[in-house]
Amino acid sequence: MEQKQNRYLFYIAQNYSYAILRPLQEIIVKRGDAVSWFLEGTEVSSVFLTATEQHLKTVDEVLHWQPDVVFVPGNVVPRFIPGLKIGVFHGFNAGKVNHDGQISHFRIRSCFDLYCTQGPATTLPFIELSKKFKTFHVVETGWPTLDPMFASSKENPYKDDNDPRPTVLFCSTFSRRLSCASMIFERIKMLSMQGKYRWLVQFHPKMDSQIVAQYKSIESVHLRFIETDNVLPVLQAADVMLCDTSSVLIMFLLQGKPVVAFNNKTESEHLVHVNDEEKIEQAIEYALSYPKDLMSKIEAYSAQIHPKRDGLSSQRVLQAADDLLEKGVGDLKPKPLNLLRHLKMRKKLHYWKI
């Protein structure tokens, strides 16, 4: 008897979600199961889909396709989308606090049956939340996004083997309250003009367009502005990162590379902190020396954030999904209705059928 082909829906709302889920897609397709993509809202573009990727353009098409499992790298998914709902996160916990004083990363929106967590720092709080809410399961799998980063390195378009200078990557969060991009623009412009380092600049897709234009205006043989839906090769190409509070700095640290954090309000010992823009170059030089004490703190931190660095997180996520698919969710309590949230999602998707 032929085995049933499972159907996995990738429900995304941001362009960076393509890179988050494609390692998982590769595993699913290799074993002969089916993947479809559904794009929610105006902040994600279908131009990033490849010719071989199936795109379901309407909710009705999704309902007709009847996915068994829905993978979501965002915060919410409508309850009228069929299938088990699995949260795989769009980044790491950067400690950002929302308007009610709660850490955003651990806010439960009653949308998911399973959270696939990245490491003990995420797993343990979610296990406690699962005991409290009793509406979802938690499995520590690692983050599929990082699988290519831990696999053997391929040709990298952002490296230059003919340039012996250290490469500094500057990233910044899009939040006006937390971003340092505008504040230190002149300093980075000056440092890039000196030609001491090779600069790469990459921002979150939501970054203010005026700030993006600023940095594009100083592109030169010393500084390259990068727009991409896959940040991993950019991270691999750099020797040190300059950042603020963006969670992308965590991904960089997991490579065993130092981060200079400007105006970062945490007291994290695994970061090189600097609050004076005149001391940025000094901090970069210190980071580039890869001091032993700093590197040991980076390793200890990484072991809590994402200890699984074997490039097999996608397999573990898929196994956790399949285990739940086989077991079912009968042991979970019904999720709260959250009518207002779901009405908003219906409005966003222009879908009012019952």
Q: Report pTM.
A: 0.88
Q: How far apart, in whole angstroms, are the C-alpha atoms of residue 283 and residue 272?
A: 7
Q: Which of the pair, 204 or 60, is modelled with greater confidence? A: 60
Mean per-residue pLDDT over the chain, rounded: 93
Q: Which two tokens stand for residue 67?
A: 């996915």
130 backbone dihedrals φ, ψ, rounded to 5° = -65, -35
**3-state DSSP call for residue 308?**
coil
The full length of the chain comes to 354
> What confidence score (pLDDT) does residue 230 get?
87
User: How does 183-210 read in b/e, with b if 16+ C-beta sit within 10 Å?
Assistant: ebbebbbebbeeeebbbbbbbbeebeee
- The per-residue pLDDT for 155 is 86
Instruction: Give the pLDDT band of residue 101 (cuts 50, 70, 90).
Output: low
Lowest mean pLDDT, pick from 47-56, 93-102, 302-311: 93-102
- Give helix 313-327 / helix 17-30 axis angle, nearest 10°: 70
Check residue 99 and give its pLDDT: 59
Mean pLDDT of 42-51: 95
Average pLDDT over residues 99-105: 66
Region 307-315: mean pLDDT is: 96
14 CB-near residues (< 8 Å, 6+ apart): 43, 44, 73, 74, 90, 205
pLDDT band at residue 67 under the 50/70/90 scheme: very high
Q: What pLDDT, on a 0 to 100 scale, did the predictor assign at position 94?
A: 65
Residue 176 predicted with pLDDT over 70: yes
* CB proximity list for 207: less than 8 A, separation 6 or greater: 172, 174, 179, 181
pLDDT at 221: 97
What mean pLDDT is predicted for residues 42-70? 97
β-bridge partners, 72: 87
Average pLDDT, integer, range 59-74: 97
Which of 115-119, 155-159, 228-232 shows the lowest per-residue confidence on average (mean pLDDT)? 228-232
Residues 297/290, Cβ–Cβ less than 8 Å: no
- Give the pLDDT mean for 177-190: 94
The tens digit of pLDDT for each residue in 134-152 reads 999 999 999 999 999 987 6
| Three-class DSSP category at 164 | coil
Tell me the backbone φ, ψ of residue 252, rounded to 5 degrees.
-65, -45
